[in-house]
Structure formats: C-alpha cells, structure tokens
Amino acid sequence: MRLFVGIEFPERIVAALEAVQAELRGHSQRGRFKRRENFHLTLKFLGEVPAADVALLTPPLTAIAAAEAPFALGLGRLGQFGSGSPIRTVWAAVAGDLERLQRLQGKVEQALAPFGFPAEGRPWRPHVTLAQDVALAPGAPPWSAYSVDGTPFTVRECALILSEERDRRRVYTPLARFSLKG
C-alpha cells in the first residue's frame, strides 16, 4: 500500500486553495491540476508499505500526536519546484506556527525511521501541491501577484493516508487519524 502521513484541511482552506488554483489555471496553457479532494500537506511520504505493517505504524503516530498541542496554520504565497518549462510543481506555502509544524514533522520522521522509512537527507519544505507539469501562458503574473486567503485554521490532527490509483485517478483515503492532545 502506498502511504503517507499528512494534514487534511477544513473546507474553508480547501475552498481557498481551489480559488487560487483557479487563478493559476487562468494563467496556464496546460497542467495537471490537483482535484480539490486531494489537497493536503504531506508530513512524511512512506511509499509502499506491506498491509501487515500498517498496524505497527499507528501506535507511534498516536503517541506523537497525543504529546503535541493543536496549532495554527494558514496558507502562504505560491511557489514552484523546478525551473524548467513545464514547471514540475506549483504549490502554496504554509504560514503560521511553522515551528510547531516543523517539530511535529521532525517527530513523525524520527519515530518512523526505525520502521524502515529513513529521514530525508534534504530539509523538509512544507507545501501544498496545486498542479504539476504547468505550462504558464505568456504574460502570466509572478507568484507574488496571486491572492491567497491566509486566514489561519487550527490543526487538530494528522492522518495516515492511503494513496491509490482508481480509474486512472489518484484517490487518497485516511486510514487512521491522530488527535493532537498535548
């Protein structure tokens, strides 16, 4: 099973992401635009995990979440990964209590390393993917010109999420949610 640990968004944030994604689409010739139900913030991508191992992952994730208090995050400016054309990934950054977010991510990374998911060598760059393989239209504005609703929301849980290809569509299904209770 292809799995990752991530943060899901309340409807208001999904709507804000959808709005800025629509702006991006208006300035693009083509691209693969993520469906609204697939917007999320990845804390740790696990890749292929044997189904039998899933039960091993939930206790450490439950414990980490239980020790962290809810915190505020909002959406930040747009940005990109890749400097070529088409652009590999266009994303929205996250803003708010990034220290707490980084700490949660670091703990998830540390706790899962013994299960065969080594920590990434490079720094984690929190982002919400809006679209991939984006060819911008001539005259498209700089990222700073896009309007992103940065009203914060409270992160109260993270989730272990299954990623599947169904009917040639990527479908994400939360398998377990872990409450921040600290």
Q: Which residues bind ligand 2AM (CB under 6 A)?
A: 4, 42, 45, 89, 129, 163
Which CB sits closer to ligand 2AM, 67 or 110? Answer: 110
Element housing 148 (H / E): none
Q: How far is the CB of 152 from ligand 2AM (least distance, A)?
A: 21
Q: What residues contact 45, with CB distance under 8 A and at least 6 apart? A: 4
40 is catalytic: yes
Q: How far is the CB of 129 from ligand 2AM (least distance, A)?
A: 3
CB distance 155 to 108 below 8 Å: no
Among the listed residues 127, 130, 172, 178, the single catalytic one is 127
Match 């760059």 to its residue by tokens: 125
Which CB sits closer to ligand 2AM, 51 or 138? Answer: 51
Q: How far is the CB of 154 from ligand 2AM (least distance, A)?
A: 21
Number of neighbouring beta carbons within 10 Å of residue 126:
18
Among the listed residues 13, 24, 31, 40, the single catalytic one is 40
127 is catalytic: yes
Q: How far is the CB of 157 from ligand 2AM (least distance, A)?
A: 17
Q: How far is the CB of 115 from ligand 2AM (least distance, A)?
A: 17
Find out whether the peptide bond into 86 is cis, omega within 30 degrees of 0.
yes
Which CB sits closer to ligand 2AM, 107 or 127? Answer: 127
Closest by Cα among 5, 27, 1, 3 to 130: 27
What phi and psi, each to the nearest 5 degrees, are found at residue 166? -130, 125
Which CB sits closer to ligand 2AM, 4 or 71? Answer: 4
Please tell me what DSSP assigns to residue 118: P
Q: CA-CA distance, 18 to 26, in Å (whole number)?
A: 12
Which CB sits closer to ligand 2AM, 30 or 181? Answer: 30
Let me know how long the chain is. Answer: 182
CB distance 155 to 73 below 8 Å: yes
Q: Which residues does the annotation mark as catalytic? A: 40, 127
